Structure 1
């Protein structure tokens, strides 16, 4: 490792975000890495080709563009290696396929991202993997669910849509003691606010589509692994034959440069609105880990360095009719899936697939992504939604 690289690891996060994963002098001093679109790589001679003794072998195995993003994520995550895949769901699917097979047992937190559950309940069950969901509040009781054939413990924190918090280190330790690999979907926090590997998690999963991309115009996922799991993860990626497009890798690298500035703005606006919402009579609960009133707030403070712009509210009474009236009245908040872009979004959360983490019962759960618009405009927009619900009475 060069002294220049050593110096980069000493920099603070905002500086590292701007310089991680790329040395401009490798490509004639240009500030941004080039977009290298490639399939075929030519070898200088037959012996080199036979030995596969070449920096790049084939486009599927990576290019300078994808390699730059992998290196940047390794720097941010503290990981031994990172793979890139075409979506956040692929970033969930590939590691599960890498470490599970017929007859294995997989423990999955019940507050997991919906498509993760769908993948487990369809593809993995067809493969002969036994899936067992567990209550996010289980704590040390997770140890009682471990079996001789438990190979993976899949975590997400905070929980998808309902934001339950867990003791990440405790659950990672239980998995390791039982001979299982721990994986965690860390999309909400990004590596700026949480580095799962620092808590003993083996693999950190991200939908780079969200805050790293930041502009709602790309699909990408990553899995960052520790030294014990990286080779098997990379081998599985190549066995499946899936990698990221260089254009999307380039856009994500560009997004990383401003991610901390954006995340802090999302954080401030979301907390401002969460506190305002908490004081409203027409809101039964605000599900935001950064609020002292939230049941998992102490766990959040102990483990996380910040909060992103995604949280939920529970309307005070009603059901689908009230939820749709609220959403249809919004003029700034868009009605759409995904989050992490510059724009505010809202949706009615469906928790019907939950076994344990069923969520609040006072009324419909509305998930809000707080974007980068003016906070007062967003406040007025939400007030329009509440007025529409009141008009139904």
Structure 2
């Protein structure tokens, strides 16, 4: 990011297509294509990881979502930014993108109930073991970490 964060934020959100100061908020469930061939080509570009100005289905996001992801990517100097619909979707995405069968996750015993359910039910089906630790004891956390530990999940404040 060549500009200071303040300068970047003042100038980054201009609506290039709409010519407005801020990008237009676009809400959509169905995205229109002129032909089925155009849709298929667009889907192939997305599958190849190419940068696109819009998705092929509204639940994936809109031009607004893509612009926000690009702004956050530049602001945070990140390789990639992926926005999710909910906080829990972010939790599940983070865990599932890091862990593989045979891995262990060391996780705070005070987590959000759906996260506990994810660890105790879904991760078990993928042969990923959840090991719970007392969030008030750093010693307990240290004792639970092994060579198989792929992720330490901390929730603060806990639920």
Contact 2:111 2:158 in 1 (8 A): yes
* Corresponding position of 1:319: none
Give TM-score scaled by structure 1 length: 0.32
* Corresponding position of 1:29: 20
Structure 1 residues 171-190: Cα deviation after superposition (integer angstroms, max 9, x where no partner): xxxxxxxxxxxxxxxxxxxx
Write 1 or 2 for the structure with the bigger share of strand.
1
* Corresponding position of 1:132: 131
Q: Distance in 2 between matches of 1:140 and 1:75?
A: 38
SS of structure 1 residue aligned to 2:136: helix
* Corresponding position of 2:52: 55
Tell which deviates more after alignment, 81-90 or 54-63: 54-63
Structure 1 residues 257-291: Cα deviation after superposition (integer angstroms, max 9, x where no partner): xxxxxxxxxxxxxxxxxxxxxxxxxxxxxxxxxxx
Give TM-score scaled by structure 2 length: 0.70
Contact 1:20 1:75 in 2 (8 A): no
- Aligned residue runs from structure 1 range 1-393, under 5 A: 6-7=3-4, 9=5, 11=6, 16=9, 19=10, 22-35=13-26, 37=28, 39-40=31-32, 49=41, 52=45, 55-56=52-53, 58-60=55-57, 62-74=61-73, 79-139=78-138, 142-160=141-159
**C-alpha displacement of 1:71:** 3.3
Change beyond 3 A, Cα 1:157–1:135: same
Structure 1 runs not aligned, ≥5 long: 161-393
Q: Distance in 2 between matches of 1:58 and 1:26?
A: 16
Structure 2 runs not aligned, ≥5 long: none
Q: Whose Rg is larger?
A: 1
Change beyond 3 A, Cα 1:31–1:154: same
**C-alpha displacement of 1:131:** 0.7
**C-alpha displacement of 1:68:** 2.1
Contact 1:106 1:131 in 2 (8 A): yes
Contact 1:20 1:71 in 2 (8 A): no
**C-alpha displacement of 1:130:** 0.9
Change beyond 3 A, Cα 1:126–1:75: same
SS of structure 1 residue aligned to 2:116: helix
Instruction: Give the length in aligned residue pairs.
Output: 148
Stretches (4+) displaced over 6 A: none
